[in-house]
Amino acid sequence: MLSLLVGSSSEADAANVVLLWEGLSRHKFEAIVSALHDANIPNRCKCGADTGAAYVFNLRGRRLLKGRKETSWQVSVLEVDYERAQNIARSCA
């Protein structure tokens, strides 16, 4: 899940991206991303494990790397959207 945070490379150079949420709950991750989408707040999502990437993404889908036990989920937003996004994230179960 990757949403464009900005429309151009010059905007990207000027934008500050901040971590909104990180956790182990895929359910909460999906709820936050969905709520941000519904509120038209651009976001960047990452999935990883405590020791590195948990999934290899390819054209055929994704597969879990061996030896990875806990998957960590992250959602980042633009700094200008942080306060509004934080209120939305708090409301997600």
**Where exactly are the structural domains of the chain?**
9-91
pLDDT tier at 56, thresholds 50, 70, 90: very low
- H or E stretch at 55: strand 55-58
* Alpha-carbon 85 to chain mean position: 12
The answer to whether residues 22 and 87 touch, using CB atoms and an 8 Å cutoff, is no
The per-residue pLDDT for 48 is: 73
Is the pLDDT at 42 greater than 50? The verdict is yes
The answer to whether residues 85 and 38 touch, using CB atoms and an 8 Å cutoff, is no
**Predicted TM-score (pTM) of this structure:** 0.67
pLDDT tier at 38, thresholds 50, 70, 90: very high
User: In the CATH scheme, what is the homologous superfamily, with its name and number, of domain 9-91?
Assistant: HD domain like (3.30.70.1370)
The per-residue pLDDT for 57 is: 46
| Buried b / exposed e along 43-73 (16+ C-beta atoms within 10 A) | bbbebbbeeeebeeeeeeeeeeeeeeeebeb
